[in-house]
Amino acid sequence: MKPCILIADDSPLIHRIFGEQLETAGYPVIHAEDGMAAISSVLSHLPDLILLDVHMPKINGYQVCRLLKDNPDIYSIPIVMMTSKFSSSLDIVSDPRNWSFQIGADGYVDKDSVENIAESIKPFFTKGPKNKPQIPPKPMTEMEILTALSHLLDKQLYLDVTKLKELDDRKSAFVANVSHEFKSPLGAIKGYLTNLHLGVYGTVSEPQRQAVEAVSRVVDRLNRLVTDLLDLAQIEAGQLKLKKKPVSLGELIDEMLATYFLEIQKKEMKIVKDFTSDLPNIVGDKDRLMQVLINLFSNCLKYTPNKSTVTFRLKPEQHDLRLEVEDNGPGMSADYLERIFDKFERITTEKREGTGLGLPIARDIVVLHDGKIWAESNAGKGTKFVVVLPMGKGS
């Protein structure tokens, strides 16, 4: 007896034409009008080959194929996917032929160019594995089919996410390596520039000194960018380890402000310190927390006009210490408040030096400390950054 063929298609025309051609050639034919019926028919009749339309109601041909190929009882039955250029297209798929093979189908036919389907399917009988089961597998209810499909999609999603994560980790490791490799030559360039500036290699004329200073500034900028990229890549690759100790945030703010003394004076910025010196410590990495403060304060310096006021507040809150850095600069509208923590996101319209990495790094460092950071602002009314850090043991 000739092999039995299942035609799964929502088009009555296809059932009629292909059905007649196959029966004329002596093949017994069974019919299913949608994806769900296709699965039930396969489980109850165990056909020798499945002609599976891609675009079908309920569950599409790709999903049916994935489900059948995932079933150890029936994965050996050859599946030939069918599409027509006149049928509506599924957006996710640009090349159905390519996609069909990716999801495990054994063959593919273009319904519009088939002259006699009985001839077209012949090569596919030899394609699939030969161990077709003899006992029909257990039938499945619609609910069971949908549940199996959902599990399959979950599994696929998990695999896809794992793969993406792997790729992302590799990219982070690559960026970390490249940034690291950049750091030593930059350090050497900076060293030679400093020596030049100091006259170690001979007297330097005024125009030469100015040129050296200009190059030096560019090198500093490049160095900052490379350091930021390195930090970010290390954090993303899970390689940044915190060196935690009790830290006084109040002292850290003072220390940070001292390093910006000249800039603060130049901008005639008013600094308000709204905290007392008897606050509890937090347990954290001092250098990394300093980086958070610098990233927040350098933004105040960069984005507020001269004579602005920046207020630092510290307040204990149950198990946390709340830090606020508030300026009375231009602020920003609500749409930007979340986005500014995305990498490379910059909303400033004026041309200011920067890459858009300061806040993402600050957020990552705060999160590594099990803390939270967010911004509050109204356009024209200044910006307030709030950082909440757990005080932790040993405070």
Binding residues for Mg ion, rule: CB under 5 A, are: 299, 358
Binding flag, residue 44, ligand ATP (CB under 6 A) = no
- Token pair 């602005």 in the structure block, residue: 308
> Among Mg ion, ligand ATP, none, what binds residue 330 when CB lies within 5 to 8 Å by partner kind?
ligand ATP
- 179 near ligand ATP, judged by CB under 6 A: no
Q: Which is nearer to ligand ATP, 28 or 356 (CB)?
A: 356
Task: Tell which one of 48, 236, 285, 327 touches ligand ATP (CB under 6 A).
Answer: 327
Distances (CA, A) of 88 to 51, 60, 94: 18, 12, 12
Question: Nearer Cβ to Mg ion, position 36 or 230?
Answer: 230
Residues 260-299 touching ligand ATP, rule: CB under 6 A, are 295, 299
371 interacts with ligand ATP by CB under 6 A: no
- Residue 3's binding partner among Mg ion, ligand ATP, none (Cβ under 5 to 8 angstroms by kind) is none
Q: Is 340 in the site for ligand ATP (CB under 6 A)?
A: yes
Residue nearest to ligand ATP (CB): 358
Binding of ligand ATP by 330 (CB under 6 A): yes
The count of chain residues that interact with ligand ATP, using the rule CB under 6 A, is: 22
Cβ-based nearer residue to Mg ion, 41 or 291: 291
Q: Identify residue 356 by its one-letter amino acid code.
A: G
Complex with Mg ion: residue 358 or 382, whichever CB lies closer: 358
Could you tell which of ligand ATP, Mg ion, none binds residue 81, using a CB distance below 5 to 8 A set by kind?
A: none
In the complex with Mg ion, the residue whose CB is nearer, 189 or 294, is 294
* SS3 assignment for the chain: CCCCEEEECCCHHHHHHHHHHHHHCCCCEEEECCHHHHHHHHHHHCCCEEEEECCCCCCCHHHHHHHHHCCCCCCCCCEEEEECCCCCCCCCCCCHHHHHHHCCCCEEEEHHHCCCHHHHCHHHHHCCCCCCCCCCCCCCCHHHHHHHHHHHHHHHHHHHHHHHHHHHHHHHHHHHHHHHHHHHHHHHHHHHHHHHHHCCCCCCCHHHHHHHHHHHHHHHHHHHHHHHHHHHHHHHCCCCCCCEEEECHHHHHHHHHHHCHHHHHHCCCEEEEECCCCCCCEEEEHHHHHHHHHHHHHHHHHHCCCCCEEEEEEEEECCEEEEEEEECCCCCCHHHHHHCCCCCCCCCCCCCCCCCCHHHHHHHHHHHCCCEEEEEECCCCCEEEEEEEECCCCC
The residue among 41 and 299 lying less far from Mg ion, judged by its C-beta, is 299
Q: How far is the CB of 358 from Mg ion (least distance, A)?
A: 3
Asked if residue 233 binds ligand ATP (CB under 6 A), the reply is no
Contacting ligand ATP within 201-230 (CB under 6 A):
228
**Smallest distance, Å, CB 388 to ligand ATP?**
18
357 binds ligand ATP (CB under 6 A): yes
Contact 267, 308 (CB under 8 A): yes
Tell me whether residue 78 or residue 358 sits nearer to Mg ion (CB atom): 358
CA distance 61 to 108: 12
Q: Is 312 in the site for ligand ATP (CB under 6 A)?
A: no
CB of 355 to ligand ATP, least distance (A): 4
Using CB under 6 A as the binding rule, whether residue 347 contacts ligand ATP is answered as yes
Q: Is 35 in the site for ligand ATP (CB under 6 A)?
A: no
Residues making contact with ligand ATP (CB under 6 A): 228, 295, 299-300, 302-303, 327, 329-330, 332, 340, 345-348, 354-359, 383
